[in-house]
Structure 1
Amino acid sequence: LLHGSWAHLLVNSVWLAAFGSPLAVRLGNARFLAFWLVTSLAAVALHHVFHAGEMIPVIGASGAISGMMGAAARFGFGMSAAGRRRSFAGRLLTFREVLASRTVLTFLGVWFAINLVTGLGFAGGPSIAWEAHVGGFLAGFLLIGLFDPLSGASASGNGRF
């Protein structure tokens, strides 16, 4: 449970519950763990691109949780079949459908704006690894189809997960 502060741990816990729980149910344990690892590695990789050669530790689970948020965008924030709650139900949206969805575009805009403000130092300063957030988010958004057992890539054998 290594995090920068108790507030960091609390915020990550809330987002993990909101985005991680339904994604774990959808993917299953092994795929969810693999997704977590891949988005974490993507988060660290993008952070390294901006901070190569610097001795800046990256702690917390924000990169992987951002990956879960990126994956959520591909589900379009639809309602469950019962209409009671938002869920990761149904098929993944195509990139064309994402670009046509006002809800998803609003989510993407707000998410990236918050990270831009954070990155410019207006809300947390250099102690927040915004680059890791973006790396995890992009990996989750782009790669969720490889992990989703219900997507075409995974079901047709094109994806290993």
Structure 2
Amino acid sequence: MRLWTVQHRAILDSLKTDGELVGDWDRLLVSSYRPAYEEMVAEMTRRGLDCRGRPPVWAWLGRDTRDNAVAVTAELLLSPETDEEYARYVVLDLDVPDEMVVLSSYGRWNDFMEAIFLGEGPATMNWSIDRDELAGVQACSPRVLAGHVRSARPLEPFDPAQDS
């Protein structure tokens, strides 16, 4: 399955030395997200994927298109502003076996997280993906092996010239 993800550039060293990229609870961008992430881990376990007590590696369905679609998604999630902040990240184009991935709706995931944080309604995740949500599918895997990485490149900012 073709996926792409944005990660801190230090993971390139981890991929070389350890042969894999795995999640780490201490590296969550927002620690209050942990209850939601733990539910993702539980769902992955129900589907036969063992995260070994760690959070999953998050990615997006599809290949790295090397265009503004990737840049906008990364900017919304990470909010880099300076050249130095962009330089911290790399975009990985991945080819991960289907059986190592759980797909879910990013929109439904955000609804689930909102219910957890704001206490509005039951905090239960709807794991289905409707046909109209196919453009917003997130992918989670317990790990990404070095052999799954097709390419790595620096994260580049949104380029208005691409859209003209």
TM tier relative to shorter chain: 0.3 to 0.5
TM-score by length of 1: 0.36
Give the number of the structure whose residues are more often strand, by fraction: 2
Higher relative contact order (CA 8 A, sep 6+): 2
What is the TM-score normalised by the length of structure 2?
0.35
Q: In proportion to residue count, which structure has more helix?
A: 1
